[in-house]
Amino acid sequence: MAMARHWYSSSPVVDGHPLLDEPGFWPAHLADLSEGHPPEAFGSDGGDAAAMLDRLHDPSAWPMFTVPLVGGFTIVLHYNSGEEFTTTDYFLTHPDWSQDLVLASDDQDRIGPGLCWPELAALLEAPPGAAGVTDSHARLLLLLPVLGDTAVPEEAVTAVVEALVAQGAPEASEALARRLLEGNPMWGAEDWWFDDEQSWLCEGDRSPCKVPLGDHLPPQQRAALEACLAPC
């Protein structure tokens, strides 16, 4: 079961943002999604990627990343390294909430996918003056493990290629982009639809979006969440 975020307060959490600019980060972060593609496909050295994977999986220092969204919402990514394995938990948070929402987690319960492509595409631009991960290319690649959508359009492939190239990958990275868009192997790609409650819903049995995300929230907070995830 995904660790509740308040439990992280007593864990060895460290600021992960400086790692984004270090060699080997992207092939390490996206290792589970890019099977069959070596670190060189990302424009990285294999040794750098292996060293970065060790840092991301360090039991004594758990990297955390924040992706600020409109309306005060934030997606928080926590690496959680125990004695035997490392998991990644993605939370959707808001300062007015008493409890955060789990978007995805690759622990034994396999919670996901938490986003479809229209939602992810809507979250790529950071609010003005926000702190955290604000570069649109980095935001896309950081959140790709949460995605699982059978209907990703060609524009998604183009966006991922552009993000990869911006982070140092070779120009010919379309095959890697398509592989990354196939979905996290923990839950794969699923069918989504937009329902009458203005929410994206997912067919996947493990998805937190089988019901409207945050359907337990008070109406005003629920409306704010809908506006954040489906602004169009």
pLDDT digits (tens, 9 = 90+) for 36-90: 999 999 999 999 999 999 999 999 999 999 999 999 999 999 999 987 788 999 9
What global pTM score does this model have? 0.94
pLDDT digits (tens, 9 = 90+) for 197-219: 678 999 999 999 999 998 889 98
Q: What is the pLDDT of residue 38?
A: 97
Is residue 58 classed exposed, middle or buried when 0-12, 13-18 and 19+ CB atoms within 10 A define those classes?
middle
Return the half-sphere exposure (C-beta side, CA atoms, 13 A cut-off) of residue 212: 17
Q: Is 177 helix (H, G, I), strand (E, B) or coil?
A: helix
Q: What is the DSSP string of 148-165?
A: -BTT--HHHHHHHHHHHH
- Tokens representing 132 are 């955290």
